Amino acid sequence: MHHRPAPAHQHTAAARRPATLVAVGHGSRDPRARATLLRLLDRVRELRPGLDVRLAHIELNAPLLDETLAGLAAEGREAVLVPLLFAPGYHVTHDLPAAVAAVPGLRARVAAPLGAHPLLVEALADRLAEAGWTPGEDDRRTTGVVLAAAGSRDPRSGAETRRIAALLGERLGGVPVVPAYASAAAPTVPEAVAALAARGRHRIAVASCFTAPGLFAARAAAHAPWIAAAPLGAHPALARLVLHRHDRALAAPAVVHGRELAAV
């Protein structure tokens, strides 16, 4: 009996290697930042053994994103870019798609930023608890939280950060959570602290909506009147969120050379 050979595209699909998760950090001059992200990705690998997981940076740290994507294209691998950023902004909406489009023949997807998700809120709440957040019912009228984030001129970024703040407030039992920004947007952390104090909230904590230590995170923490949470780092919930964004992006069509880029 003669069997009809499989179409060539089936052979190509069968031979194609699994997609690589490229976690994209901003980059920092703080030497702790890269080490922190590497620990986060170790957790991702523990959760998904066998998944090829690589770290890349937009600037300041090696490996840079363009070099990583060029290497993946040379290997014939498909890429899923997961921004280690919390809201839409120039890096997510421009830099990442442009980096994909600059590599001929690269099959790639760009995932959504980490964003307003219960897993992110779990990590934020845990970091506050580790810093000493233990207000009881009697304290709820005097406590408040400033959610410190990087900031962006993109209005979608501010809207997403406000959603994160609202979810964190619900998680903390209705305590007011005011978003604040290290750059490019208002209010600043000191301005948000002052606004909470004007409402009679004098036990004010700063929650760190940053993945790793760096200048912005340190400046935000320095303005905390009470306690300051550590950056999210290698929190298990953040590792699960990275995989969630990766999996959602994989459900979208891949693109070649930047055409019909899928942002989920």
DSSP letter for each residue of 200-237: T--EEEEEE--SS-SHHHHHHHHT-SS-BPPP-TT-HH
Q: What is the pLDDT of residues 206-264, one digit of tens each?
A: 999 999 999 999 999 999 999 999 999 999 999 999 999 999 999 876 665 544 444 43
Cβ atoms 109, 80 nearer than 8 A: yes
Strands 107-110 and 255-256, sheet pairing:
antiparallel
pLDDT at residue 138, rounded to an integer: 64
pLDDT at residue 262, as a whole number: 41
pLDDT of residue 14: 34
pLDDT at 134: 87
Give the tens place of pLDDT for each residue, 4-22. 444 444 434 434 578 999 9
Looking at residue 57, what is its pLDDT? 95
Predicted structure pTM score = 0.88
Low-confidence stretches of the chain (pLDDT < 50) are 1-15, 258-264
State the pLDDT at residue 9.
43
- Average pLDDT along the chain: 89
The pLDDT value recorded for residue 119 is 98
Q: In the prediction, which pLDDT does 120 show?
A: 98
The pLDDT score that the predictor gives to residue 255 is 60
152-158 contacts at long range (C-beta below 8 A, 24 or more positions apart)? 152/87, 152/88, 152/89, 152/90, 152/184, 152/185, 153/89, 153/90, 153/184, 153/185, 154/87, 154/88, 154/89, 154/90, 154/93, 156/87, 156/88, 156/89, 157/87, 157/88, 157/89, 157/185, 158/87, 158/185
